[in-house]
Amino acid sequence: MPRLNRIVETALYVDDLERARDFYETKLGLAPLLSTPTLVACDVGGRSVLLLFRRGASLATQTAPGGSIPPHDGQGPLHIAFAVDEAELAAWEEKLERSGIAVEGRMQWDRGGRSLYFRDPDGHLLELMTPGIWRIY
């Protein structure tokens, strides 16, 4: 049976694409890979891509010379987690504080990992997680 290897992309849908790009680029340090009027794609650690779509802009099939992408969109506050090194978690918390980003929650997990929770400008719940949370991480 064929198997899935990993998640390459994940998407968030945002009301103001420029505001979102600024947040993820300047506050979290993600480098844009692609920027269009409806999409910003960001490099996450050289291993995955965060897609930021302008909410409602992907409700029609998108066509290009190579094929088509079916409609998609999302509503409400979604959740994604970013992997960080345990040794850098305190520095991340300080960076968030200096950037005026409130940490809404902290978690010490049974397997030894820790998490910090905060929100982006669209209300999405973001998590910084250290190793030791999941059996595979």
**pLDDT band with cut points at 50, 70 and 90 for residue 71:** very high
pLDDT band at 125 (very low <50, low <70, confident <90, very high): very high
Question: pLDDT value at position 4?
Answer: 87
Residue 133 near residue 109 (C-beta atoms within 8 A): yes
Specify the residue for token string 């965060």: 50
Find out whether 17 and 38 touch, Cβ atoms under 8 Å: yes
**pTM of the predicted model, to two decimals?**
0.94
Domain segments of the chain as ranges: 1-58, 77-137
Question: Do 1-58 and 77-137 fold alike per CATH?
Answer: no
**pLDDT tens column, 15-36:** 999 999 999 999 999 999 999 9
CATH 3.30.720.120: does it fit domain 1-58? yes
Q: CA–CA separation, 81 vs 102, rounded Å?
A: 16
CA 46 to chain centroid, in Å, comes to: 13
Maximal CA-CA distance, the chain: 49
CA–CA distance, 79 with 108 (Å, rounded to integer): 18
Alpha carbon distance 126, 9 (integer Å): 16
In 3D space, the residue among 15, 47, 14 whose CA is nearest the CA of residue 31 turns out to be 47
Reduce the DSSP state of residue 18 to 3 states and report it: helix
* Banded pLDDT at 132 (limits 50, 70, 90): very high
- Structurally, at CATH architecture level, domain 77-137 sits in Roll (3.10)
